[in-house]
Amino acid sequence: MTILTKLTQKDFEEILLRYSIGKYKAHEHISYALQNTVFILNTTKGKYVLKIFEKSEADFVKFQIRITDYLYHKKVPVARIVKLKNGRNLLMYRNKLMAIQKFVGGNPAKKLNKELAGNLAKNLALMSKHLLKLKLKGIFMWSNDHEFETNTDIENIEKINFVGYEKKLLEEIGKLDRNNLRRSVIHGDFHEMNLLTENNELRAIIDWDDAHEDYISYEIAVYLVSYFDAVSIKRSKEYIELFFKEFQRYIKLNEEEIKAVYYFMKQRLIGVIFWHQNQKKIHKNFEKRLDRSMKKLITRYVALENITLDEFMQLAERKSTSQKHHRAELKNKKNLYSVIVQD
């Protein structure tokens, strides 16, 4: 990834004069940060992360900091902002908004095992429990109830009728009783690359650039679908079952919220597929790589479609749907699988 804002050693030295965290020693650009410019910064007093907010407005960044400060004091693992000498959280340097955080060791949680899966479920539940109590003025919103709206980016891909699948999905989502779906501030992108772990424990939840008010079912769906494995459906089901068992030690979900998780998982995955489709149009030099990713995502979507609502509710230990609805679901899944295999 190209560095959006280039900084020299002199720049880092000038920036550090505003802080009490030592003198400059070295820096390294973090290439997988796509929307912002991020550096690992080594000083005479330790290791830090300098983040340049390339698109976010100051009010939204302050909103993120209020959330992470609140969670830090609740002992939820988050990266803490380092204050400037003047007591402020944010620095404006060369017309760029930036902040420095304490460095947290660990690696993105790319692969799960049962111990790590249980730990992540526990931390997501504790974070959600605290955020349900957090009341902020001027809460940033995405499109109001975006889960109930048509995604205009969706189109059919060769023989796969994604437009039709999304239409049917929205019909099911539309039947949900929104009054039984709790809302709060959420992280919005709680998945492997934003979860730093070590020895099967979560060390820090990072990158709050998608934080907004939404359904807690959406937060859960984003997490679960990121680890859904099309190669091993059995293992995916085990992790889903483990997640609900551990999460509900802290927050008991009602039936409507669990149904919403099931539908929002599918919706999230379709959205990610067509994000890749749009990126192919923009970044022609990465078209082959993006195309390979898309094919894997479509395979994952097919596998997810073959888990019925009835099965999903049973994994969450909630009552099953009617046999009639279950048979109709199975028929739809077989038809979908047949179309994609032929393609």
SS (H, E, C) the chain: CCCCCCCCHHHHHHHHCCCCCCCEEEEEECCCCCCCEEEEEEECCEEEEEEEECCCCHHHHHHHHHHHHHHHHCCCCECCEECCCCCCCCEEECCEEEEEEECCCCEECCCCCHHHHHHHHHHHHHHHHHHCCCCCCCCCECCCCHHHCCCCCCCCECCECHHHHHHHHHHHHHCCCHHHCCEEEECCCCCHHHEEEECCEEEEECCCCCCEEEEHHHHHHHHHHHCCCCCCHHHHHHHHHHHHHHHCCCCCCCHHHHHHHHHHHHHHHHHHHHHHHHHHHHCHHHHHHHHHHHHHHHHHHHHHHCCCHHHHHHHCCCCCCCHHHHHHHHHHHHHHHHHHHHC
Overall average pLDDT of the 251-279 stretch: 93
Report pTM: 0.87
Comparing 48 with 139, the larger pLDDT belongs to 48
Using CA atoms, how far apart are residues 215 and 222, in angstroms rounded to an integer? 11
78-135 pLDDT tens trace: 999 999 999 999 999 999 999 999 999 999 999 999 999 999 999 999 999 999 999 8
For domain 109-342, give the CATH number: 3.90.1200.10
Using CA atoms, how far apart are residues 257 and 251, in angstroms rounded to an integer? 11
What is the domain partition of the chain in residue ranges?
9-103, 109-342
Residues sharing a CB contact under 8 Å with residue 217, sequence separation 6 or more, in sequence order? 181, 253, 257, 258, 260, 261, 264
CATH topology of domain 9-103: Phosphorylase Kinase; domain 1 (3.30.200)
266-277 pLDDT tens trace: 999 999 888 888
Question: Is the model's pLDDT at 323 over the cut of 60?
Answer: no
Q: For a pLDDT cut of 90, what percent of the chain falls above it? A: 68
pLDDT band at 31 (very low <50, low <70, confident <90, very high): confident
Question: Is the model's pLDDT at 343 over the cut of 50?
Answer: no
- What pLDDT score does 159 carry? 77
Question: Is the model's pLDDT at 3 over the cut of 70?
Answer: no
278-320 pLDDT tens trace: 877 776 777 888 888 888 888 888 899 889 999 999 999 865 5
List the single range of 4-13, 24-33, 189-198, 273-282 with lowest mean pLDDT. 273-282
Torsion 306-310-312-315 (CA) sign? negative
